[in-house]
Amino acid sequence: MKFSIFGSLNIHLVKRQSSLVSESVLIEKLTQRDQQAFQWLYDQYSPALYGVVLRIIRDDEQSSDLLQDIFVKIWKNLDAYDASKGRLFTWMLNIARNTAIDSLRSRKTQPFAAIRTDEENVHIVDRQHNTEQPNPDHIGIKEIVNQLRPERKQLIDLVYFGGYTHEEAAEELNLPLGTVKTRVRAALQELKQLFKS
Amino acid sequence: MNVTEYIASGILESYVMGAVSDQERREVECLSSIYPDIRHELDQLSEVLESYALSHSVEPPASVKAKLLDQLDFDKPVRETIVRPMPVNLETTSSPTFRITWVVAASMGLLLLLFSFFLLSQLRTNQKVLATIRINNNKMQAEMRLLRDQKTQTEHTLAVVRQPGTRTMELRGNEKAPQGTMLVFWNSLTKQVAVQVQSLPALPADKQYQLWSMVDGKPVDAGVFDATNIPDLVQRLNRSVARADAFAVTVEKKGGSPTPTFSTLLALTPVNA
């Protein structure tokens, strides 16, 4: 049965053990334009990609349109994906993030995404909890992420979701550039430790 | 390269955050393909960011999936791109580069060749000039040596002549040596005597000229000398001459004789008072 491959892959991903063999099978199926494979890919990754786009764009309707564009891009550019250069999910995340940030910048109707207020964060969390199939794994991750020091989280959000360069972030937060660079590294290293434990 | 330092520099974190320049991005991609430690750290950071993105997951509206399933072409493999004929591709992309490389190489070679010809001709010219200079130098050195010799002789002559009391007498050859002419320098105070041959017939190897001083009508040995063809050469004779009324020259066997052979008398001159 077709789903068995993807079922096992799903477990692998949830356990955060990248399985190159399974991923290469998935990519193989995708390049053969297999609809089941695409559906699996979409179901697996669309919440994460949508979450990223939503964080950047802050508009449900525009984010939905962009998510559609992003999956079309992924579909069309699968040949360009090089497994030796990085993981598939990372590759997809980069496409999503770049597409959203480009869209944000081209519209120029609003400045770069500022840091979200706590109120908005709560709103997103609520909405996530209200989704039909709450993913217990994601909730666990969320708790881990919330342990991150606030000033580090703020910086990651600014750079990753705001598309700020280190220089722009330094200006925005009124910090020396060196501090920004150190703090970005510290933030990711802290997250790494948090996820390991 | 120090991998640990590179990892600690924070560039990998900036890379996964999408906050690097194009050049830095290429650098990270290149180095991570070379160094497994960098690759490992990059993968870990990518996973961290994946988890971070996952933590923001929001279920998208169902309409998006429906639209996508409607929009995308399924079951039409895109494998053509992979089985495209590579040689054609290679030819079109690499041929101009190849040609340019050849042109550049050929022109470099030509330039190098021309330059070496230039250097060679320079070298030849220099060698010619050097040879001329060397010949001139030799000529000048020879001339200088000659001048120095002449100067030394002149000095010798002058040294003899300058001494107070030196008398100079000219001896002319008789019928046996009509062209013969020479000078005798005699200093009665120092008792030194010297001759300067100006023109005397050359002698066989076993013969020498001998000078005699006439004292009270008797010949006294005053030393032997050679008929040299070097002009102005003053030959000091190693005999002391205390008294002399006249000087005479005879041809004797090499080394001189105790008594003169009068048959070979060439010249005789009285000492002028």
Neighboring chain A residues of B66 at a CB cutoff of 8 Å: none
Q: Number of folded domains in chain B? A: 2
Give the predicted TM-score (pTM) of the model.
Answer: 0.51
Contact (CB<8Å) B65/A132: no
Please tell me the predicted confidence (pLDDT) of residue A109: 53
Say which residue, B153 or A100, is predicted with more confidence: A100
pLDDT band at A13 (very low <50, low <70, confident <90, very high): very low
Please tell me the predicted confidence (pLDDT) of residue B155: 85
Please tell me the predicted confidence (pLDDT) of residue B271: 77
Instruction: Please tell me the distance from the alpha carbon of residue B166 to that of residue B157, in angstroms, as a whole number.
Output: 11
Please tell me the predicted confidence (pLDDT) of residue A139: 58
Query: Does A87 score more than 80 pLDDT?
Result: yes
Among B20, B38, B58, give the residue marking a domain's end.
Answer: B58
Residues 6+ apart with CB under 8 A from B242: B188, B191
Please state the rounded mean pLDDT for residues A35-53. 92
Specify if B186 maps to a domain: yes
Best to test chain B binding among A50, A62, A65, A161 (most B CBs inside 10 Å): A50
Contact (CB<8Å) B74/A98: no
Specify if B202 maps to a domain: yes
Best to test chain A binding among B55, B74, B82 (most A CBs inside 10 Å): B55
Instruction: Please tell me the distance from the alpha carbon of residue B167 to that of residue B189, in angstroms, as a whole number.
Output: 10
B83 touches chain A (CB under 8 A): no
Neighboring chain A residues of B74 at a CB cutoff of 8 Å: 33-35, 38
Please tell me the predicted confidence (pLDDT) of residue B94: 53
pLDDT band at A19 (very low <50, low <70, confident <90, very high): very low
Residues 6+ apart with CB under 8 A from A39: B65, B69
Contact (CB<8Å) A75/B72: yes
Contact (CB<8Å) A144/B82: no
Please tell me the predicted confidence (pLDDT) of residue A186: 92
Q: Which CATH number is B209's domain given?
A: 2.60.40
Specify if B82 maps to a domain: no
The boundaries of every CATH 1.10.10.10 domain in chain A are 119-197
Neighboring chain B residues of A170 at a CB cutoff of 8 Å: none
pLDDT less than 70: residues of chain B: 77-96, 229, 231-232, 272-273
Its CATH class, for the domain covering A119-197, is: mainly alpha
Contact (CB<8Å) B47/A16: yes
Structure tokens at B117: 């010809």
The b/e string for A41-60 (b: 16+ C-beta within 10 A; e otherwise) is: bbebbbbbbbbbbbbbbbee
In tens, the pLDDT along B177-222 reads 788 888 888 888 888 888 888 888 888 888 888 998 888 888 888 8
Contact (CB<8Å) A142/B55: yes
Among B13, B32, B58, give the residue marking a domain's end.
Answer: B58
Please tell me the predicted confidence (pLDDT) of residue A11: 41
Neighboring chain B residues of A95 at a CB cutoff of 8 Å: none
Its CATH class, for the domain covering A1-110, is: mainly alpha
The boundaries of every CATH 1.10.1740.10 domain in chain A are 1-110
Please tell me the predicted confidence (pLDDT) of residue A21: 56
Please state the rounded mean pLDDT for residues A71-81. 90
CA nearest to A91, candidates B62, B42, B220, B134: B42
Please tell me the predicted confidence (pLDDT) of residue A69: 93
CA distances from A117 to A109, A124, B68, B259 (A): 20, 11, 33, 145
Specify if B41 maps to a domain: yes
Instruction: Please tell me the distance from the alpha carbon of residue A114 to that of residue A120, in angstroms, as a whole number.
Output: 12
Structure tokens at A88: 């598939």
Residues 36 through 75 of chain B touching chain A, CB cutoff 8 Å: 42-61, 63-65, 67-69, 71-75
Contact (CB<8Å) A48/B47: no
A&B contacts, CB < 8 Å: 168
In tens, the pLDDT along A116-147 reads 444 444 444 444 444 444 454 555 777 888 88
Instruction: Please tell me the distance from the alpha carbon of residue A83 to that of residue B67, in angstroms, as a whole number.
Output: 28
Residue numbers of the domain that contains B43: 3-58
Contact status, residue A90 vs residue B54, Cβ threshold 8 Å = no
Cross-chain CB nearest to A184 (options B13, B51, B52)? B13
Specify if B89 maps to a domain: no
Contact status, residue B224 vs residue B239, Cβ threshold 8 Å = no
User: Which residue of chain B comes nearest to A146, CA vs CA?
Assistant: B55
Please tell me the predicted confidence (pLDDT) of residue B121: 95
Please tell me the predicted confidence (pLDDT) of residue B228: 75
Instruction: Please tell me the distance from the alpha carbon of residue A61 to that of residue A39, in angstroms, as a whole number.
Output: 22
Best to test chain B binding among A78, A93, A157, A172 (most B CBs inside 10 Å): A93
Specify if B33 maps to a domain: yes
| Angle in degrees, 0-180, between the axes of helices A60-76 and A88-107, rounded to the nearest 10 | 130
